[in-house]
Structure 1
Amino acid sequence: MSKEITKFGQNLRFLRLQHKPKLSQTDLGTSLSTADDNVSRSAISSYEDGRAEPNYKRLEKISTFFDIPIDQILTQELDKLDKLSILKKENVNDHTSGKDLRILAIPMDKDKDEENIVFIPEKARAGYASGYSDIGFFKNLPKYTLPFLPKGKTYRAFEISGDSMPPLNEGTIIIGEYIDDWNDIKEGTVCIVTTRNDGFVLKKVYNNITNNNSFILKSTNLRYSPYEVDVHDVREVWRLVAHISKEFPDNEEANSLTEMQEAIWRLDKEVLNMKRKN
C-alpha cells in the first residue's frame, strides 16, 4: 500500500464527511456516477481504506465534485488544514492562466485527422455542467466541421435560450473558440462561460480578478442585472466567433442603446467593488 494512496483515502473520507450536507459512501458514489460509469458504495469504501485506487477518470470526477485540485488530494493532508486554507490553496493565477490541470474533451474526425465541433443543444445544458470533460458525454451529440473557421483552434457550438443577449434570438447557434489563458480576455468580450453550477451562459465578460478573484458577467438586455462569478467556479471560457440564426437579427434598437449600456456597466462595476469594501 503506497503512502500516496493512504493519503488519498484519508482525504476522500475527510472531504466526504466535511461536505454540507454530510455524505454517506452511497451518497458520494451516486453523485459521482454517470450513465457509463456507476460508482458503487463498495468502490468508495475501498478507496478510503486504501484497498484500491480510482482510475484517472474517477479521480478527475472527485476533484471536480469537491472543487479540490488533484495534486492536493493526492499529496496534502487536508484534515490538518483549516477550511479557509483549503479553499485558498489553489493559486488564482495558475487557474486563470491555464497552468493548472484542465480536462478538455475533444472528439476527433479520424478520417480528416482534425477536431470536430460538438453541438451542445439547450436540452443538454444541465448535463454539460458535469459532463464537459467526459468524452462519453459527447458520444451521442451532433458533430460538425465548418470550413470558414481558422484551422488549429478548438471550437464548440451551443444553442442559446432566453432573451438576455439581443440581437441574438432564442434558438441561435453560437460558436466559441476555446480560451486557455483567461487573462487575455479583453473587457466586454462576448464569451460562452461554463460554470460548475449553471452549465453554459453567453455574456459579456469583465475582468474583476484583481479586486475579487471574479468575472462580472453582463447581458446586452438592460432588464438583466450583471452578476459576479468566482473564477474557481469557472470551468471553460469560449470566445464568441460566429453565430447561426434562422432569423435576421434587428440591430437598430441594440445599437441605439450601446453607449448607455457601456456607461451603466462601468458604473455597476464600481458599485460592486465599493459595496465589497464597505
Structure 2
Amino acid sequence: MLLGKNLKYLRKSKSMTQEMLAERLGIKRTMISAYEDNRSEPKLSTLKILSEIFSVSLDELLQHDIQSKGRKATQKKDIKILTVSLDQEENENITMVEHKASAGYLNGFADPEYMQKLPSFHLPNLSKNATYRAFEINGDSMLPLVSGTIVIGAYVEQLSDIKSGKTYILITESEGVVYKRVFNYLEENGKLFLVSDNDLYKPYEVLGTDVQEIWEAKAFISTDFPNPKDKTQPTTLEDIAQMIGELRSHIVKTK
C-alpha cells in the first residue's frame, strides 16, 4: 500500500515530525506511526485533511508512488502570478536580480514593495509579448558565460513549456536561483535534469514541484569578451545526452 510510504515521504519533505503532524490532525502520534507502517488506515475525513496539508489529491496520496515517480501532473503546474515593475508609461521593466540579492528574491518575488526596490532597465529588440527578468550568474558552471554575467530570461508560464536542451534560470525551493541547461522528463517521472555546460559539474535532477519560477534565457550582458585562444569549450549536446544517460543508469542501479 502506497499511503504509508507517501505519507512518510511528504511529512519528511516538509521537515515535520510525527508529533507535529499528529497535532495538525488532532490525533495521537502513535496513529501517524501506524499510518506510515500501514498498520492502520486513516478515516476519509483524515485523508482529506492530509491531502490539504501536503497539497496532493487523494488519488495521488493513495495510488501514486510520489517518492519514486515524483508528483503527478506537475507538467501542467502554473509557476506563479508575476509581480512586475512598470515605468512611468506603464511599460514593463526588466527587473535586475543581482547575485547578492538572490536570497532575498526567493522570499520576496511575489511582494510588489520588494520588487520595486530592485534595479530595472529596458533593452531594445526584445519581443514585447513576454515578461523579462535579469539574473546575475555566479560561478563557472555555464562556461563560456563567466561569473558576473547577466542573463536575461523570458517568463515561462508552465512546466510543460520547457524545451529539452535549452538554457533556463530556475527559481527552486531546494537550490535557490540556478542557471542550467534543462532536460524535461516531467511526463516520465515528474523531474527535470539540470546540466552544466562546464563538464566539471555533474548533472542533477529536481522535482517539478520544487520549481517556483522558470525563465528561458534570451540574452546576456557581459564585460568579459571571448578569447579565441581560450581552449575552454562548452559541453556539446551530444556530451550532455551521454551524461544524462549515464546518470539515469546509475540512478536505476542504486534504487
1:102 corresponds to 2:98: no
TM-score between the two structures when normalised by the length of structure 2: 0.69
- Unaligned segments of structure 2, at least 5 residues: 1-10, 21-43, 61-70
- Unaligned segments of structure 1, at least 5 residues: 1-14, 25-75
Measured in 2, the distance between the counterparts of 1:143 and 1:23 equals 46
Deviation at 1:201, TM superposition (A): 0.4
Structure 2 counterpart of 1:86, from 22, 45, 54: 54
Deviation at 1:269, TM superposition (A): 5.0
Deviation at 1:249, TM superposition (A): 2.9
Evaluate the alpha carbon distance shift between residue 150 and residue 84 of structure 1 in structure 2; reply closer, same or farther with a 3 A threshold.
Answer: closer
Q: Does the 8 Å contact 1:187/1:207 carry over to 2?
A: yes
Measured in 1, the distance between the counterparts of 2:48 and 2:206 equals 29
Cα deviation 1:29-50 (Å, max 9, x = unaligned): xxxxxxxxxxxxxxxxxxxxxx
Evaluate the alpha carbon distance shift between residue 270 and residue 101 of structure 1 in structure 2; reply closer, same or farther with a 3 A threshold.
Answer: closer
Q: Residue 108 of structure 1: SS of its match in structure 2? A: coil
Evaluate the alpha carbon distance shift between residue 175 and residue 232 of structure 1 in structure 2; reply closer, same or farther with a 3 A threshold.
Answer: same
Evaluate the alpha carbon distance shift between residue 207 and residue 273 of structure 1 in structure 2; reply closer, same or farther with a 3 A threshold.
Answer: farther
Q: Residue 248 of structure 1: SS of its match in structure 2? A: coil
* Residue matched to 1:187: 164
Measured in 1, the distance between the counterparts of 2:120 and 2:19 equals 37
Deviation at 1:102, TM superposition (A): 2.4
Evaluate the alpha carbon distance shift between residue 275 and residue 88 of structure 1 in structure 2; reply closer, same or farther with a 3 A threshold.
Answer: farther
1:265 corresponds to 2:243: yes
Measured in 1, the distance between the counterparts of 2:178 and 2:150 equals 13
Further displaced range: 113-122 or 245-254: 245-254
Evaluate the alpha carbon distance shift between residue 246 and residue 101 of structure 1 in structure 2; reply closer, same or farther with a 3 A threshold.
Answer: closer
Q: Residue 115 of structure 1: SS of its match in structure 2? A: coil
Q: Does the 8 Å contact 2:79/2:212 carry over to 1?
A: no
Q: Kindly indicate whether structure 1 or structure 2 has the higher relative contact order, using CA contacts under 8 Å at least 6 residues apart.
A: 2
Amino acid at match of 1:223: L
Evaluate the alpha carbon distance shift between residue 108 and residue 233 of structure 1 in structure 2; reply closer, same or farther with a 3 A threshold.
Answer: same
Evaluate the alpha carbon distance shift between residue 87 and residue 257 of structure 1 in structure 2; reply closer, same or farther with a 3 A threshold.
Answer: same
1:139 corresponds to 2:116: yes
- Among all aligned residue pairs of Structure 1 and Structure 2, give the percentage whose two residues are the same amino acid: 35
Q: Does the 8 Å contact 2:153/2:216 carry over to 1?
A: yes
Amino acid at match of 2:153: G
Query: What's the Cα RMSD here?
Result: 3.2
* Residue matched to 1:20: 16
Greater share of helix residues, 1 or 2? 1
